[in-house]
């Protein structure tokens, strides 16, 4: 089932086609276009209202997770540490557990660390650490142990471990805040997306005054007024006194004539639009290859499928007048014009296997893209495709009643429209032509 946005876009295209072929007047087209575009804009605003809440959350979580505590860690050799301890012992009492050496021996001057793996701390801290090394050295036990151990000993400033732990705790706070923010955002999103409006009191002026929230607006357009089997109309759309009015509609009989031989004769999109204007449809389907199908095609002088055929009951429909020009009255029946129904199967034309026609409009960007994507397909099927290109004013384009471009015609019978990637052109062509090249993988993206 089509979403409301897809249905509105299809209806807008349907309206444009009706205007292009003169089915509706300029004023009717502009009114309908304004109504549909207004509704599409409202739907977009609703979607954006929900999306905006969450768009910064991934960034918040990522930044919080990537932030690391900046801990200054330096490495010194055991020999340097022992010498520094001896220097310290000359002027003050050795602390318990420190290595003792002879006082008469002169301790070497401590130089820069042999290894420094973290540079994130400020340079001022380096000077401070070197001036107070007697407080920064890890204690060793004996001379023998100094000679035995060759690995480097980590030198950390007093209380640095505690500071690192404190920083780690602080860096966890953004994650907690992000989690709280997500929970709050979900609640707001649920309220906005639920479509419900309630009367509430809004706090203003420091919490001393309140006012009522905006009242529920019943409808913004007639598309908001839906009731089974009835035609809905929005009165005073978008205003506080807006309301839906409903009218009973007549039961209308519709016959859809199609063919299993057509790979591009889907009827769902057009039926969805028709049901919006004639809600009480009684639909029957007939295949062209059946006796009733052949008889209907002959009696109604049909040349393309699918065909949408109404009997005289359509005159009783509330919206009959809006689409009067979209039909041709034939023998008491009302047949939707090919240009309106988007008929794709020209079943009365002779089938020519391996033939492909492209209809383009000069100067149109979409037509240029279609040609570029087609080149890959033609290169893969070189010598196997009888290809011809036609402009929008060609005799064949007028014969087929084409009014939008680009358009492809396969085997002189079935058309498909729009800019298509090379692989999709191949798929459509191979539905009517069995060739070894049909197993090839072509580009699935547009060039």
The DSSP annotation for 24-59 comes to: S-HHHHHHHHHHHHHHHHHHHHHHHHHHHHHTTHHH
| 335 belongs to a structural domain | yes
d(CA 360, CA 204): 61
- Per 3-state DSSP, the chain is made up of helix, strand and coil in percentages (nearest 5) of 45, 15, 40
What tokens were used for 36?
A: 């549909």
Query: How many C-beta atoms lie closer than 10 Å to residue 66's C-beta?
Result: 8
- Per-residue pLDDT tens digits for 385-405: 999 999 999 999 999 999 999
C-alpha separations of 356 from 185, 283, 297, 305 in Å:
54, 34, 26, 19
pTM higher than 0.75, yes or no?
A: no
CA–CA gap between residue 364 and residue 391 (Å, rounded): 11
Q: Please check whether residues 369 and 435 belong to one and the same domain.
A: yes
Which tokens in the block code for residue 322? 């809006």
330 and 359 belong to one structural domain: no
pLDDT of residue 349: 97
| In-domain check, residue 45 | no
Grouping H, G, I as helix, E, B as strand and the rest as coil, residue 353 is coil
Contact predicate 414/432, CB 8 Å: yes
The verdict on residue 178 lying in a domain is: no
Please give the tally of structural domains in the chain: 3
Residue 309 has pLDDT above 90, yes or no: yes
The alpha helices in 67-154, defined as continuous H runs, are: 78-89, 123-131, 143-148
Whole-number pLDDT of residue 402? 94
Q: What local confidence, expressed as pLDDT, does residue 88 receive?
A: 53
**129 band by pLDDT with thresholds 50, 70 and 90:** very low
Domain C-terminal end among 114, 134, 156:
156
Of 291, 308, 341, the domain-final residue: 341
Better-predicted residue by pLDDT, 447 or 238 = 238
Q: Are 408 and 346 in contact (CB under 8 A)?
A: no
* Size of the chain in residues: 447
Residues 297 and 364 in one domain: no
Please say whether the beta carbons of 114 and 77 come within 8 A: yes
- Residue with token string 């009827």: 267
Q: Nearest-CA neighbor of 182 among 55, 78, 334, 69?
A: 55
Write out the H or E segment, with its range, that includes residue 201. strand 201-204
pLDDT in tens, 359-391: 999 999 999 999 999 999 999 999 999 999 999
Percent of the chain whose pLDDT exceeds 90: 44
- Whether residue 306 has a cis bond before it, omega within 30° of 0: yes
Average pLDDT, integer, range 13-33: 71
Query: Phi/psi at 96 (nearest 5 deg)?
Result: -55, 135
Given a cut of 70, whether residue 318 has pLDDT beyond it is yes
Together in a domain, 313 and 360: no
Count the alpha carbons within 13 Å of 309 in the hemisphere toward its beta carbon: 22
Beta bridge partners of 284: 255
Q: How far apart are CA 241 and CA 22, in angstroms?
A: 36
Let me know whether 324 and 368 are in one domain: no
Residue 327 lies inside a defined structural domain of this protein:
yes
* pLDDT score of 432: 97
Does residue 391 lie in a domain region? yes
* Same-domain status, 337 and 362: no
Residue 83 domain flag: yes
The answer on pLDDT for 69 being more than 90 is: no
Sign of CA dihedral 187, 188, 194, 199: positive
Q: Is the dihedral angle over the CA atoms 412, 415, 417, 422 positive or is it negative?
A: negative
Q: Cα-Cα-Cα-Cα dihedral of 53, 55, 60, 66, to 10°?
A: 160
Residue 34 confidence (pLDDT) above 90? no
Residue 117 lies in a domain: yes
Q: Which of 283, 314, 341 is the last residue of a domain?
A: 341
Question: Phi and psi dihedrals of 231, rounded to 5?
Answer: -95, 125
Note whether residue 108 is domain-resident. yes
Q: Are residues 262 and 323 located together in one domain of the fold?
A: yes
Residue 198's pLDDT is 33
Q: Is the dihedral of CA 116, 119, 123, 124 positive or negative?
A: negative
Strands 243-248 and 307-310: unpaired
* Among 306, 251, 305, 325, residue whose Cα is nearest residue 283: 251
Q: CA 129 to CA 135: how far, in whole Å?
A: 9
Residue 41: C-alpha distances to residues 8, 32, 36, 243, 248 (Å): 11, 14, 9, 20, 30
Domain that holds residue 282: 253-341
Write down the pLDDT at residue 205. 43
Average pLDDT, the chain: 74
């Amino acid at each position: 089932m089509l979403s409301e946005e897809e249905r509105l876009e299809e209806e807008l295209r349907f309206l444009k086609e009706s205007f292009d072929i003169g089915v509706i007047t300029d004023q009717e087209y502009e009114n309908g276009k304004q109504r549909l575009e207004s509704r599409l804009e409202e739907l977009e605003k609703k979607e954006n209202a929900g999306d905006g809440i969450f768009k910064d959350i991934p960034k918040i979580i990522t930044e919080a997770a990537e932030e690391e505590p900046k801990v200054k860690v330096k490495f010194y050799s055991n020999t340097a540490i022992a010498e520094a301890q001896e220097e310290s012992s000359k002027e003050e009492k050795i602390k318990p557990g420190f290595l003792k050496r002879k006082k008469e021996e002169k301790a070497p001057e401590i130089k820069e660390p042999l290894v420094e793996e973290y540079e994130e701390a400020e340079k001022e801290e380096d000077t401070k650490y070197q001036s107070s090394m007697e407080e920064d050295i890890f204690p060793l036990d004996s001379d023998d142990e100094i000679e035995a151990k060759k690995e480097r000993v980590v030198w950390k400033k007093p209380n640095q471990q505690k500071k690192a732990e404190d920083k780690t705790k602080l860096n966890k706070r953004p994650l907690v805040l992000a989690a709280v923010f997500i929970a709050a955002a979900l609640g707001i999103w649920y309220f906005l997306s639920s479509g419900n409006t309630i009367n509430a009191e809004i706090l203003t002026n420091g919490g001393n005054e309140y006012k009522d929230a905006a009242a529920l607006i019943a409808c913004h357009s007639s598309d908001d007024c839906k009731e089974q089997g009835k035609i809905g109309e929005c009165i005073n759309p978008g205003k506080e006194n807006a309301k839906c009015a409903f009218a009973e509609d007549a039961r209308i009989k519709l016959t859809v004539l199609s063919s299993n031989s057509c790979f591009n004769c889907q009827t769902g999109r057009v039926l969805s639009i028709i049901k919006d204007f004639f809600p009480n449809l009684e639909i029957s389907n007939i295949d062209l290859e059946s006796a009733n199908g052949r008889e209907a095609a002959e009696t109604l002088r049909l040349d393309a499928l699918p065909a949408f055929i109404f009997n005289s009951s359509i005159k009783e429909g509330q919206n009959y007048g809006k689409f009067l020009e979209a039909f041709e009255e034939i023998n008491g029946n009302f047949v939707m014009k090919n240009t309106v129904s988007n008929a794709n199967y020209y079943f009365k034309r002779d089938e020519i296997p391996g033939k492909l026609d492209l209809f383009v409009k000069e100067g149109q960007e979409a037509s240029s893209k279609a040609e570029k994507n087609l080149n890959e397909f033609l290169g893969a099927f070189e010598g196997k495709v009888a290809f011809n290109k036609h402009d929008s004013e060609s005799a064949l384009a007028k014969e087929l009643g084409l009014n939008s471009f680009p358009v492809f015609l396969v085997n002189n019978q079935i058309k498909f429209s729009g800019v298509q990637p090379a692989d999709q052109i191949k798929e459509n062509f191979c539905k009517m032509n069995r060739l070894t090249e049909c197993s090839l993988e072509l580009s699935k993206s547009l060039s």
